[in-house]
Structure 1
Amino acid sequence: MSAPHPLPAASAAGELLARILHAEAGGRPVKAVEGLACLAMNRAHAALASPEGRLRFAAGTAPETLPRALIAVLRAPFQFPVLHPRHRRHARFAHPRDDDPFLAVCRRVAQRALSGALRDTAGGATHWHADTLQPAWALGRVPCAEFGGLVFYRLEG
């Protein structure tokens, strides 16, 4: 029996993004899902653009294409908490139900983001948190967008 063929990078990136959106956004409004997708794409573009972006968002890897940059960003440590096996919503990421309508929404948003058809509603954001939290890095900073309980920031340097 032959080994299964790996997914093309764009398909793998789209599915990985959709699962992360599904787990992180957890039933929030579509605008919040789109904002988080835009944030992921902003990080991927930063990883493609400079060594600092690669170090900051892609664990130092040097991807050559946008889908590979997105995969590197999504897999990098500490970028998306639901990837950690002990996170309370990790099962939503690792074992989503294929018939979940919210997963279908997340897949459509992910495909729009990867194709470039999703306008950056997050205003260039590269950082985010739920509005129920106040991380130390966000103190004194002005958000560039807020949707459905998620707060987005564009941090320079």
Structure 2
Amino acid sequence: MTNAGQISQEVDTIARTIWGEARGEGERGMHAVANVIMNRARVGGWWGNSPVEVCLKPAQFSAWNRNDPNFDLARKVTTQDPQFRLALQIAGRAIAGTLDDITGGATHYFNPNVVLPSWASALTRLTDIGNHRFYV
């Protein structure tokens, strides 16, 4: 884990979520996942009223599901990993309010190569970024 004295819990949790969900998607893909987190926090309610609540909401981000292979990896990753350092930068920008929303307001996404969730047909597809489809 990173040093809690240097990185806020909020930035750390968002970065671990971004890393666990999209580290293979490059900067743009990680940026888009951060947008979804922040959009959900902005909407609030069921998802949670803060970015940390949104990230840790059960069954919402697979990287936090205990049975997901990324669960232990996301908890243990350090700043030695360049993708995690990038995730920390993106998370910091998200918290500072300087991260543009490249998703158009998306609150949902999925990788169609992995799953086709039942909710997808009920929502509006906004954009594809990397291997993820983004919806609202």
Alpha-carbon distance in 1 for matches of 2:57, 2:68: 16
1:45 aligns to 2:46 (yes or no): no
Counterpart of 2:89 in 1: which secondary structure? helix
Greater Rg by CA:
1
Residue correspondences, number: 132
5+ long unaligned stretches in structure 1: 1-5, 48-53, 64-68
Alpha-carbon distance in 2 for matches of 1:97, 1:119: 26
Question: Which residue, out of 62, 68, 84, partners 2:65?
Answer: 84
1:16 aligns to 2:6 (yes or no): no
When normalised by structure 1's length, the TM-score is 0.77
Alpha-carbon distance in 2 for matches of 1:127, 1:71: 17
When normalised by structure 2's length, the TM-score is 0.88
| Residue range with higher mean Cα deviation, 108-117 or 128-137 | 128-137
Q: Is the 8 A contact 1:22 1:92 kept in 2?
A: no
Q: Is the 8 A contact 1:43 1:73 kept in 2?
A: yes
5+ long unaligned stretches in structure 2: none
The alignment-based identity, stated in percent, is 26
Counterpart of 1:144 in 2: which secondary structure? strand
Q: Is the 8 A contact 1:23 1:89 kept in 2?
A: yes
Deviation track 1:62-114 (CA, whole Å, cap 9, x = no partner) reads: x5xxxxx1111112112211111210211221111330000011000101111
